[in-house]
Amino acid sequence: MKVLVCISHVPDTTSKINFTDGDSKFDTNGVQFVINPNDEFGLTRAMWFKEKQGASVDVVNVGGAETEPTLRKALAIGADNAIRVNAEAKDGFQVAKELAKVVQDGGYDLVIAGRESIDYNGGMVPGMLSELTGANFVTNCISLEVEGTNATATREIDGGKETVTTSLPLVIAGQKGLVEESDLRIPNMRGIMMARKKPLNVVEAANAETETTSVKFEKPVPKGAVTLVDADNLDELVNLLHNEAKVI
């Protein structure tokens, strides 16, 4: 089984976010980038398929040379090969079309993507990729087993969970629960050394058209001041909630 894991290169959640050029561009200065958490769950699951079923695992990213350290980390975790599509990721449809070409050229049986990336939270790419490649699709996936050409997946739905069966080729949009957080892997020294020798192939973009353009970014409104009320002063608490906060 050939598995492809889509890797997003995203800012660490502890990074301080700023914008430049009149708030129209993201400022990358001083920002630490990591593997998108939802993709990391998928990569760990792919490692299970590699170790238990002998699957081959490739990772792919659409981005510039600055994303290669993130791909190298995926190789250090255990992926066999890495592919970087040499294009700036501008919107979900463009990324999906670039990834679709990689999937079709590589003949992958299973494509694992994160449900969404933690930078733009678009949640569009996996579904678009499924449509563009003609593969089956399971979103919000929290469990996946593959036997031969058949797959059994569990996904979150409103109010519960749903277990479905389908066949390969398959695209899943994975999330927390696909593996436990305790199962996530930290590259060891041996993995880091081996990653330096593994292939990282740069392929030219298919020049997919960009459908959207970011006009302006805005930061969330800063949190207001906190008012502390003595635990014994319930009358003041009720007064503040009623007249100031207006929640009762």
Give the span between the Cα atoms of 93 and 64, in whole angstroms.
Answer: 18
In degrees rounded to 5, what are phi and psi of residue 174? Answer: -90, 165
Q: List the one residue out of 141, 106, 98, 116 whose CA is nearest residue 3.
A: 106
User: Distances in Å between the alpha carbon of 15 and those of 12, 23, 37, 117, 184?
Assistant: 5, 17, 15, 15, 21
pLDDT at 139 over 90: yes
pLDDT level of residue 226 (50, 70, 90 thresholds):
confident
pLDDT in tens, 50-63: 999 999 999 999 99
pLDDT at 176 over 90: yes
Residue 107 has a pLDDT of 95
pLDDT in tens, 24-41: 888 988 899 999 999 999
Structure tokens at 188: 């060891």
Q: List the one residue out of 96, 99, 93 whose CA is nearest residue 4.
A: 99
Domains by residue range for the chain, with CATH: 2-217 (3.40.50.620)
